[in-house]
Structure 1
Amino acid sequence: MKYSSDLHTHTIVSGHAYSTLLENVDFCAKNGIEILGTSEHGPAMPNAPHYWYFGNLKVVPRVINGVTILRGCEANILDTDGTIDLNEYNQTHLDYLIASFHENVFSPNTLESNMKALFSAVENNEKIEILGHLGNPAYELDYEKIVKLAKDRDIMIEINNSSMLGNSRKGSDSNCTKIAELCKKHGAKIILNSDAHICFSIGQFKESIDMLKSINFPEELIMNDPERLIAHLKNKGRLTDL
């Protein structure tokens, strides 16, 4: 299948990444990445963009140099009520949200509190399409319940290649394998994402692909094929201009 979509990427706007949006687009155009999701950290992350940035993503063309641009945000889960750091108004022009835990925004808590925060975020925010880097061992989570939630709500669970590499959230790789096995068991959709903080990492999924092959993960549940991904989002009422 074609692994030519990447919906978790960052630019210099996030404050700790090293490429511009146009540099990311140029890399994609030259390397066969057909869909680029730009998903800066939400405003609660130190040095992240102001919420106006997300409200103004409408000015970014839908297609640049043959690369389809999806407008997203890696939103921070803030509390056990599931509050995220981007209000509904500033989500107006976004195509999707990735919901993630980050230690400096939501400190790792009890299993009950972590689960309440995640479930509440998903239940309260219809634009959450992806659950980000769940394999982080800092957060105790009930993966089976989360996978069932994703299946019921038809949202995607991220297999984060930066986590698989150990570049971030060390110790995530074994948890990512457990999560993938549960997605296979329950028929939940996954998406491979790079979590790129420099353009050269975009679309680099080798470690994730190798892991999925090792467990005979069904290709029909992997959403990186552009046609499959666009159809999924359109079915959810997104991307009306494509």
Structure 2
Amino acid sequence: MKFDLHTHHDRCGHAQDKIRDYIEAAIKGGLSVIGISDHSPYFGSPLEHAQPQIAMAKSEFPRYVEEVLALKQEYAGKIDVLLGVESDFFPEHIEIYKQEYAKYPFDYIIGSVHLSGGVSIFNRNRWKGLSNPEKVVHKEEYYRLIQESARTGLFQILGHIDAMKGFYPAFSDIPTPKVDETLQVISDCGVAIEINTSGKTKDVGGWYPSDEILERALHYGVEVTFGSDSHVPSRVGDEWDQVRARLKEIGFTHWVYYKEKKKQSVQL
């Protein structure tokens, strides 16, 4: 049974095409489940539409939910359409986000750290001129935020947990025990991590997280799910079969998705 829980569309300002196009691509690709999970508005900002090239406007959010729910009904019997959202994690605004999400019947919420130390994790310039000890500090702050996001109880899934390597592949080689510590926290909190195949669109290539982290995740009993993080319909379900095969090689026996925030286990 094929599923993909991480897809975007044109509302966020940096993805192409409509939600329907992603659903149709999923059906064409043989998926049984497609999750729609566009970027949440910046609820902590006083602006109606902060960062218009990154996330949707606040006023678009109820329309987004309404559209997904309508498509869920329309496609019933053809494919299971799930209502999700990819949520930025801002510790100082977590209560606002909880209040907003409580208004809607989400199947799942992906929590993703996109900013660390006030700088985008994808900003390659953040690494320029740093000493090795300073690089460790940056990496550990990123994983501290991921730990904190796991502990909120708001998220069923944590997104791309080593995406900081996207435009700085050497990130993976920065030594710190914080990664193992973070995996233990994630396991303790019962949150899943996604294998996100969008790393292939960045300098690093490949997937998030690395095989090494996936091996450690298995050791700590962390459950995994799949997300293409597609911003174009053609990437829906991208490399699903390869990810499934690799997980089996690592030693995983199943992966999960969420419906009505309840874990659904799928054998590999």
Classify the TM-score, shorter chain: 0.7 to 0.9
The yes-or-no answer on 1:223 pairing with 2:256 is yes
- In structure 2, the residue matched to 1:209 is 244
Measured after TM superposition, the shift of residue 9 of structure 1 is 0.2
Query: Is the 1:43–1:85 contact (alpha carbons within 8 Å) kept by the matching residues of 2?
Result: no
Measured after TM superposition, the shift of residue 84 of structure 1 is 5.2
* CA deviations over 1:25-70 (Å, ceiling 9, x no partner): 1122233212111111122454221133334414523343222222
**Which residue of the other structure, out of 210, 215, 240, is the alignment partner of 1:181?**
215
Query: Is the 2:150–2:191 contact (alpha carbons within 8 Å) kept by the matching residues of 1?
Result: no
**Which residue of the other structure, out of 148, 151, 156, is the alignment partner of 2:184?**
148
What amino acid does structure 2 have at the position aligned with 1:199? P
What amino acid does structure 2 have at the position aligned with 1:120? E
* CA deviations over 1:193-215 (Å, ceiling 9, x no partner): 10011111111224423432442
The yes-or-no answer on 1:120 pairing with 2:148 is yes
Gaps of 5+ in 2: 43-50, 122-136
**SS of equivalent residue, structure 1 residue 144:** helix
**SS of equivalent residue, structure 1 residue 49:** coil
- In structure 1, the residue matched to 2:22 is 24
- In structure 2, the residue matched to 1:90 is 100
**Which residue of the other structure, out of 74, 77, 88, is the alignment partner of 1:64?**
74
Bigger Rg, which one: 2
Identical columns (%)? 22
In the alignment, the residues of structure 2 paired with residue 106 and residue 77 of structure 1 have an alpha-carbon distance, to the nearest angstrom, of 12
* CA deviations over 1:164-220 (Å, ceiling 9, x no partner): xx21362664852112101211221001210011111111224423432442x2222
Alignment RMSD (CA, Å): 3.0
Q: State TM-score, norm by structure 2.
A: 0.71
**Which residue of the other structure, out of 53, 59, 67, is the alignment partner of 1:52?**
59
What amino acid does structure 2 have at the position aligned with 1:223? V
Count of matched residue positions in the alignment of Structure 1 and Structure 2: 222
Gaps of 5+ in 1: 237-242
Measured after TM superposition, the shift of residue 8 of structure 1 is 0.5
The yes-or-no answer on 1:197 pairing with 2:197 is no
In the alignment, the residues of structure 1 paired with residue 233 and residue 96 of structure 2 have an alpha-carbon distance, to the nearest angstrom, of 25
In the alignment, the residues of structure 2 paired with residue 100 and residue 202 of structure 1 have an alpha-carbon distance, to the nearest angstrom, of 19
Q: State TM-score, norm by structure 1.
A: 0.77
**SS of equivalent residue, structure 1 residue 122:** helix
Measured after TM superposition, the shift of residue 82 of structure 1 is 5.9
